[in-house]
Amino acid sequence: MTRDLSTRILHADRQAGVEHGATHKPLHIATGFGYERAEDLAAVFQGDRSGYVYGRQGNPTTAALEAKVTLMEDAVGTVSFATGMAAIVSTMMALLQRGDHVVASRFLFGNTASWFNTLTQMGCEVTLVDATEAANVEQALRPQTRMVFVETIANPRTQVADLEGIGKLCHARGIVYIVDNTLTTPALFKGKAVGASLVVHSLSKGICGHGNALGGSVSDTGLFDWSSYPNLLPAYRKGPPANWGLLQVRKKGLRDLGGTLSAEHGHRIATGAETLMLRMERACSNALALARWLETSPLVAKVHYPGLASHPQHARAAKLFRHFGGLFSFETVDGIDPFDVLNALQLVIKSSHLGDNRTLALPAARTIFWEMGEEMRRSMDIADSLIRVSAGIEAEADLLDDFGQAFETLEMTK
Ligand SMILES: *Cc1c(COP(=O)(O)O)cnc(C)c1O
């Protein structure tokens, strides 16, 4: 019998054998690794033997975290990075060349959207489409399209991409399909289930959970046939083709660009991951309770949460995800300033982070989506009054109470 993912995450380190029988993988802070014989050092450099050489390419602590993410995504391998952005940018820098074309969802994490502008300046072409329908992605494809990039649940408006439809399309056309699984995490969804080639994570969010470490990862599901991918260097076409893509990401993306995850942060993320399943259950049920409550408030114009029957992709989310996620957003009615709502909250923290154990909220248009300007915000459906909430794991009653007292204060002063 296959054990539950929650059990397997907890025992992942020990199964690979931990030094001194420790129940945790230890924190290895060494920058360099030495060998008795020069031949052995050379063999590791030449890829004929596995081992560590210099910390920029990883160390035993980050390798243990990578193995844990591989297990969580049911993947064949993972490379970790210093942040989620480092993972996304390094993966694309490693696998794309000038003249290549990328299709991406136009509902994206703001910094990913900003990176696509940079990628365009560097000679790749990027087409942004409404990825809630695979047909829009299909129409945008060109002979030079190498990659399609989507998020499972988009931040902050919670659109759910047509993950299955796009997966089928990419498979049929031999295009690398990258799914950013940060908002759902493997506790709710695995990219492999919809045919993703690569799954990226900001490990800083739900997988770490405690808001005390930054990290990112990219995992290869083993579904993509890298022998047909034109941008791989001959040096990395070694061994089984399923490993080629990730090998180039490790060498070109991690080693050459240097966005390495520190051992200390890797260790904290690995500890956080042990309770991922428990924390996500609570965060998702808190998000659902708050979203339902807000939907009934006269001060709220709209609530965006895939767990509500009113959400346009509710049925898709119910089919694909174990729960509906910890993130939702809402728009206030005219005359209610989102700043006043946020300032009236006493327990909820005004912060830009998400996937934290604490409930966090922010005025999206005036913070994380400010720099891109009004026109871009409009194209991403981000209303000026939009408040994004990342539900934490507090007691549900305390969160409902906090929103209740805040809205009462606003009604009185309206
Ligand atoms: C936060 C986030 C990222 C970037 O991750 P960092 O660790 O903050 O660099 C990428 N994608 C999504 C969906 C995110 O929420």
Question: CATH 3.40.640.10 in the chain, residues?
Answer: 5-273
Task: Return the pLDDT at 162.
Answer: 98
Ligand 1 nearest-atom number relative to CA 87: 9
Please tell me the distance between residue 217's alpha carbon and the centre of ligand 1 in angstroms. Answer: 10
Ligand 1 proximal residues by C-beta, below 6 Å: 83-85, 109, 111-112, 151, 155, 180, 182-183, 202, 204-205, 214, 216, 354
pLDDT band at 18 (very low <50, low <70, confident <90, very high): confident
Q: Are 14 and 23 in contact (CB under 8 A)?
A: yes
One-character DSSP codes across 210-249: SS----EEEEE-S-S-GGG-TT--GGG--S-GGGHHHHHI
CB 225 within 8 A of CB 174: yes
Give the pLDDT of residue 42: 94
Chain centroid offset of residue 319 CA: 20
Looking at residue 345, what is its pLDDT?
97
Residue 411 CA to ligand 1 center (angstroms) comes to 35
Residues of the chain with CATH 3.90.1150.10: 278-413
134 touches 169 (CB < 8 A): yes
Amino acid in the structure at residue 256:
D
CA-only gyration radius of the chain, Å: 22
340 confidence band (pLDDT: 50, 70, 90):
very high
Pocket test for ligand 1, best of 182, 199, 212 (most atoms within 8 A of CB): 182
Burial tier of 400 (Cβ tally within 10 Å: 0-12, 13-18, 19+):
middle
The helices-and-strands tally (H runs, E runs) of the chain is 15, 12
CA dihedral 251→256→261→264, nearest 10 degrees, is 110
What is the pLDDT at residue 23?
Answer: 87
Q: How many CB atoms lie within 10 A of CB 255?
A: 17
Return the pLDDT at 376.
82
Strand pairing category for 198-202 and 216-220 = antiparallel
| Per-residue pLDDT band at 215 (split at 50, 70, 90) | very high
* Residue 171, both tokens: 């498979």
| Confidence tier at 62 by pLDDT (50, 70, 90) | very high
Query: What does the pLDDT look like over 368-391, one tens digit per residue?
Result: 888 888 888 888 788 889 999 999
The pLDDT assigned to 250 comes to 96
Ligand 1: centre distance to CA 109 (Å): 7
Residue 255 DSSP label: I
Strand pairing class (145-151; 176-180)? parallel
Q: What digits encode the pLDDT tens for the residues 100-116? A: 999 999 998 889 999 99
For a ligand 1 pocket test, name from 65, 204, 218, 328 the mutation site with the most ligand atoms within 8 angstroms of its C-beta. Answer: 204
Looking at the CA of residue 355, tell me the nearest atom of ligand 1. 15
* Mean pLDDT rounded to a whole number for the chain: 95
Which atom of ligand 1 is found nearest the CA of 215?
A: 7
Residues belonging to the chain: 414
Q: How far is the CA of 401 from the centre of ligand 1 (A)?
A: 30
From edge to edge, which strands make up the β-sheet containing 125-129? Answer: 77-81, 216-220, 198-202, 176-180, 145-151, 101-105, 125-129
Picking from 150, 130, 132, the residue whose alpha carbon sits closest to that of residue 140 is: 130
5-273: CATH topology: Aspartate Aminotransferase; domain 2 (3.40.640)
What's the whole-number mean pLDDT along residues 225-237?
Answer: 95
- Do 38 and 53 contact (CB within 8 A), yes or no? no
Tokens 């549900």 belong to: 396
The predicted pLDDT at position 24 comes to 86
Side-chain half-sphere of 356: how many Cα atoms within 13 Å? 17
Q: Whose CA is nearest to atom 4 of ligand 1?
A: 84
Nearest to 290 by CA among 402, 152, 153, 411: 402
Distance 254 CA to ligand 1 centre (A): 17
Atom of ligand 1 nearest to the CA of 203: 7
Distance 408 CA to ligand 1 centre (A): 34
Ligand 1 centroid vs 366 CA: distance in angstroms? 18
- Output the pLDDT for position 238: 85
CATH of domain 278-413: 3.90.1150.10
Q: What is the pLDDT of residue 331?
A: 95
> What separation in Å is there between the alpha carbon of 362 and the centre of ligand 1?
16
Name, in order, each residue with C-beta under 8 angstroms of 297's C-beta and a sequence gap of 6 or more: 407
Question: Residue 378: what pLDDT?
Answer: 84
If you measure from the C-alpha of residue 85 to the centroid of ligand 1, how many angstroms do you get, rounded to a whole number?
A: 6
Closest atom of ligand 1 to 154 CA is: 13
Contact 51, 60 (CB under 8 A): no
- Taking only the tens place, the pLDDT of each residue in 283-339 is 999 999 999 999 999 999 999 999 999 999 999 999 999 999 999 999 999 999 999
Residue pLDDT, tens place only, 72-84:
999 999 999 999 9
Position 361 scores a pLDDT of 97
Pocket test for ligand 1, best of 152, 199, 202 (most atoms within 8 A of CB): 202
Mean pLDDT of 214-218: 98
Q: Is the pLDDT at 254 greater than 80, yes or no?
A: yes
Confidence of residue 123 (pLDDT cuts 50, 70, 90): very high
What residues contact residue 19 under an 8 Å CB cut-off, 6+ apart? 26
387 within 8 A of 407, measured Cβ to Cβ: no
